[in-house]
Structure 1
Amino acid sequence: MTNPPAERAERCASLSVVVPCHNEEANLEELHRRLAATLPQVAETWQVVLVDDGSTDGTARIGLELAAADPSVQFLSFSRNFGKEAAMLAGLEHARGAAVVLMDGDLQHPVELIPALVARHLDGFDQVVARRSRTADPKVRTALSRAFYRVVDPLIDVPLDDGAGDFRLLSRRAVDALVALRESNRFSKGLYSWIGFPTAMIDYDNVQRDAGRSSWTLRTLLDYAIDGILSFNTKPLRVVIWLGLWMVGLMLLYVVWLVVGVAAFGVETPGYVTTIAALVLLAGVQLIVTGVIGEYVGRIYSEVKRRPAYLLRVDTAEQPAGPGGGPGPADRA
């Protein structure tokens, strides 16, 4: 599979690139170099928004240096780690371009694919999604990812596409629609699908990380799957209702079987193992049901507090911008 070239030579009037960063000091300079070489080909003016999500390495120092040296770079730094969803939201809120590209800072999203994204956007698409292959992924990770989509997709109200992540181009109206969604528990994969608008796909070969270490673990992926299931519907509540009904039905069948056994063979010594197994099973089901209900209650609790999704420690756009590709503070939305 090869990366498709851009299909036309026209450029966007303005383009913003939003890059959430967490402990990416080893990749930021190379990312900036590649962006600086690519963005003049596809936009009249451009902006790069680097969002430091509470990094513990030198990401903040490098981000400040890049912003000081290049007026097209805006650097945001959170007061602590708020998570990638908050970092993407902050980037979108500070992006001023007529089109916005979301990409990771680990160089696994090829910068050289941006011209192809822009070309499809100029064809009239509000979302142009870069969908990666999984050819170079470890087999265990690939199996878990595919299992995630098989399990989550039927349980939520919007379709999810395997391999389609956060690397995408969004039109201004798509960005405005995403920013207008003020929910605290954000699941962007579902939000992209929920807002709709004409969407195109571009396939590209998977790229392995050159430096640094991924923050995604089995636990974070499992938490992400739970967020996806609970963020867009109440189907899990319906599932536990059916689970309870099935358990009641099985218990009734068990009672009938016991009655028939007593009528046919008389009273026998009660089965200790059977009783304990039934109690453990019922207790487990009750805990699962209570946990699902508790998750929904907890999310309601988070929403009604209406806390901001993030707090900024640094925003270089508050300082005067020099000449170059980056708009000054007066242009901020």
Structure 2
Amino acid sequence: MLISLIAPIYNEEKNIRLLTEKIDQTMQQYQYEYELILVNDGSKDDSLHIIKQQAQLFSQIKYISFSRNFGKESAMLAGLNACAGDCAIILDADLQHPPERIPEMITYYNEGYDQVVMKRDRTGEHVIRKLPTQLFYKLINKAVDIKLTDGEGDFRLISRRVIDSILSLKEYNRFSKGIFEWVGFTKKTINFKNVERHEGISSFSPKRLIDYAIDGIISYNNKPLRLCFHFSAVTMALCILYILITFIQILRHGIEEPGYFTIIASVLFLGSVQLFSLGIIGEYIGRIYYETKGRPHYIICDTNINETDIQKKVRNRA
């Protein structure tokens, strides 16, 4: 059995050596045959140079380097496209996903689970990051048709049929947490304690986290559009009611000088509803725009992976 490990890399020069050493130590201890695919997502530091050094030390290391930063979603997709294993394990390069737990994941895979998901608690996590994350999961679970669990991230093992199912989805705008749940299959969840980054600073800024949340909400349903419809319907009903009340007052008391507050309040309220609705519609139109372009998810500028070798491994496994 060949096990593929996939680690997206973005400015992780301080963590790459320790990551590869820990993975090799764990896999050799349990005598697992493995390949480690490191995907350099346009790092601006010395990450690519260190990756190439480690690839010379460990024959199991394969690497892919993008022409620029395409994002973690594209990096994970590139790793899944390149992997030849019977199953794949996705983990972060900052060592927040402990390689020591990999054998436990493989054990459950051997028991027949297609997805083995590591769920971390948030003990010790800074409140500035913890509270928005909890709010995100509460919001997205009310907005989308799939169920996402707080703490379940990208650190997971997926079987070959899950990999093939994910690769069959061709959309440009990808939200992996939702994709993992959408494809389904049998799942086993394992808890593990929160681990801080070994070195460096997270590349996920508050703005990127907000954008990520918007992608998650919009990528998997049309409920925001339905919300626009309901919100607009309620607003229209209130406006009609206001017009009727005003008309009745005119019939009873005659024409009075219109109030400044009433006019301003009506204009601002209706204007805000229209802008809110247009913003949601614009998000969907923007995604349609990117889908119709048909652009690739990433561009590879350097790699030591031979596509012919991958195809041979896949055929041999089949």
TM category, shorter: over 0.9
Give the superposition deviation at 1:266.
4.6
Match of 1:231 in 2: 219
Counterpart residue identity of residue 331, structure 1? K
Q: Is the 8 A contact 1:318 1:329 kept in 2?
A: no
For 1:63, which of 47, 51, 56 is the aligned residue?
Answer: 51
SS of residue paired to 1:37? helix
Aligned amino acid, residue 109 of structure 1: H
In the TM superposition, what is the alpha-carbon distance from 1:258 to its structure 2 partner?
Answer: 2.6
Aligned-partner residue type, residue 304 of structure 1: T
1:164 and 2:146 matched:
no
Work out the CA distance in 1 between the residues paired with 2:101 and 2:257: 72
- Which residue number corresponds to residue 132 of structure 1? 120
Distance 2:214 2:31 in 1: 38
Q: Which of 131, 142, 166 is 1:154 aligned to?
A: 142
CA distance change for structure 1 residues 29 and 197 in 2, over 3 Å: closer, same or farther? same
Distance 1:177 1:329, change over 3 A: closer
In structure 2, the partner of 1:274 is 262
Change (3 A) 1:136 1:282: same
Deviation at 1:33, TM superposition (A): 1.1
Query: In structure 1, what is the Cα distance between the partners aligned to 2:106 and 2:268?
Result: 57
Q: CA deviation at 1:25?
A: 0.4
CA shift at 1:263, angstroms? 4.9
Question: Which of 87, 90, 93 is the equivalent residue of 2:78?
Answer: 90
Query: Would you say 1:112 and 2:66 are equivalent positions?
Result: no
- Is the contact between residue 54 and residue 79 of structure 1 (CA under 8 Å) also seen in structure 2? yes
SS of 1:207 mapped into structure 2: coil
Question: CA offset at residue 15 of structure 1?
Answer: 0.7
TM-score (norm 2): 0.94
Q: Distance in 2 between matches of 1:197 and 1:49?
A: 24
Residue 137 (structure 1) shift = 1.0
How far residue 232 of structure 1 moved from its aligned partner, in angstroms, is 1.0
1:331 to 309, 313, 318: 313
Equivalence for 2:9: 21
Q: 1:188 to 1:328 in 2, by over 3 A?
A: closer
Provide the rounded CA distance (Å) in 1 between the counterparts of 2:302 and 2:142.
41
Q: Distance in 2 between matches of 1:261 and 1:108?
A: 67
The correspondence for 2:178, drawn from 190, 195, 204, is 190
TM superposition outliers: structure 1 runs of 4+ over 6 Å: none
Do the aligned residues in 1 keep the contact of 2:82 with 2:310 (CA within 8 Å)? no
Report the secondary structure of 2:288's partner residue.
helix
What amino acid sits opposite 2:205 in the alignment? T
State the partner residue of 2:69: 81
Flag the 1:200–1:328 CA change in 2: closer, same or farther, 3 A.
Answer: closer
* Change in 2 beyond 3 A, CA 1:260/1:330: same
Aligned counterparts of 2:129 and 2:252: Cα–Cα separation in 1: 54
Seen in structure 2, the aligned counterparts of structure 1 residues 120 and 241 have a Cα distance that, compared at 3 Å, is same
| Alignment length (residue pairs) | 315
Q: CA deviation at 1:57?
A: 0.3
Residue-by-residue CA offset, 1:95-124 (whole Å, 9 max, x unaligned): 111111000111111111111111111111
Is contact 1:130–1:201 with CA below 8 Å preserved after alignment?
Answer: yes
